[in-house]
Structure 1
Amino acid sequence: MRTDSTMPTGVGLSCYTENLAGYLSARTPGSTDLLARSVRLAVDPATGAFSHHDRALNNLPGGRRLAYRGAIDAESALAGIDAELAEHGRVLVIADSGSLPWLTGSADDHAPHLLLVDGLGPDGHRHVVDGFTALFSNGSQDPFAGSVSDEELKDMLAFPHGLSPVHRTRNALAFGFPVAPPAYETYQWLVEERGTTKEELPGGPWLTGVAALEESARLLLADMDGDGSRGLLEDIWAAAQHHIFRDAHLLTAGTELSSAELQTVRSSTAKWRELPRVLRFAANSARRGRPRPSLVTGAFATLAELEAAAVPLHAVHGHRARASRPVRTRSHTMQGG
């Protein structure tokens, strides 16, 4: 592995969306604004699934979209990745977050993580960019840019036992609306193809706005009472990152806000930033046999109140808050918050 002298500057998004932003920046005009306007939390109470965007971010200009591809062996995967790289100059690949060489310490979990491959390094190896940064309970991850060998890339991309049901759901909904999984999960990447992903969520009803936050609290408390296998803390952490990014974009987009509006957005940002820490404390207390459900319900209640005040600002000041439009499902529509 050879590291570049300068590192990429991330924008603070989740492990899926951070490097998707890098891909879209060279492919979709106004992609930063598009990402900020897309932020919306929708929750399916029946399955505990989360959708973080109100449009299909894999839909590209010209009637094209990003779609998953998979291979059962590493050589076929590298060939497919190289073909996409030759045609489009960049390709998103799905890596194991716990196998990244630039990870300090250890990740909290082995999970799918998007990386951007954008060319060849000076040594002929593939050049990889990872703008994602995060703190974990046992370490941290900083942004990376550099060239990696075939063997290093194979190690990063290997999911020899496939994905868990939770991770499979996250992959399918990583772009906001369902994208079909690949036939093989051992090695995965994304390609551009003709077509458009429908902006319809499966089943339903899905909850948005204040109702989604209330449901998130209920699901999280149920998960804490059980074995924690649904990994809801990670979903809520991703939601927090996206909403912080949404608020920051509003504050830096040249929009004129009143003093009261500025305070509303800053208060929303502060509560989203604080939420993962509060919930991890509550989760650790529950593991020690001292559950603190009021911490969870109180944190979400406060956030719901601030979000109810902040969301209209994004709609009024150019952020078309499609979360206020019906959330389409395959069976019916429901009015979101």
Structure 2
Amino acid sequence: MSKAQENVKAGILHPGDQVPLVLLPDRKTLFSRRATRYRSLAATRDGPSDLVVFLAALADAQHLALGQAPDIVPSPAEQIRLCEQRGLPPLGAQAIRPGPEWRTALRQIATTFDSLPLPPASRIALTRLEEMDDSVLDTWALALLRGVQQPIDPALIPFLAAALQVYWVRMAAALEEDRLHRLEAPGLCPVCGSPPIASTLRLESHLYRSRYLHCSLCATAWHMVRIQCSHCEATDGIRYQGIDGHFPAVSAETCEKCKTYMKIMDMEKDPDLDPVADDVISIALDILLGEGGWQRMAINPALLTQEE
């Protein structure tokens, strides 16, 4: 076995080795597979089933909105070249102001829920959405992209985030993988610069046991070596924590240096897992880690729902 093959098996690849840097999202299957995963998880005893059923319907709505949307022309070659020179992501969420297509997706998603049961706060919020000025929605979108939740109606956050995900997934899927580069901060998405929501250990033969971080916005996955903190890049003091008897494919990689953590999901233990859906279902692990003083670096918008 060659040294490169040994590195693949051990999951300690470095930039320039044999696995691709990024795995761009598949716009045809991403949200439909997520909806299927949510429904599968809702049938188990673990996790908040009412929330998971709602999120399955939301993923279905995202799939429909993405399927009805025309292709978005990706960033021009000149913009990508400049981003490469400056070490910036070509679809940076902090730099791009979403076009009107994101509001189209939002209203398409909202319409899907016209005939579906919703908590009262969500139903009232969606009714108000029909009368909201575009400028208000755009202001809220920019705030959400910058990690600011106020003064956004909390009942609308899952819908706003879902529409923004549709918008960025559509753009990311149109890029060329070989034009993308690793950012100076390896823990940020090389496509849009957003933080990862979780990481997975891949199952495919050419990626076997390689670790990929999954973007919380555009759903791009990018390679990062294992046993290294995605926040501070420390390699010492890395530990793995889970809950015995629950979520066997999900554990948390904790870093003693910066006291942060990220979930890592093993596709060999569960090949059907989805980083967003399985993050929601394993919220009990987040609660335990929070009580232990660990800080999560990326928020799952699906968990920012209005409390009833």
TM-score (norm 2): 0.25
TM-score (norm 1): 0.23
Higher strand share: 1
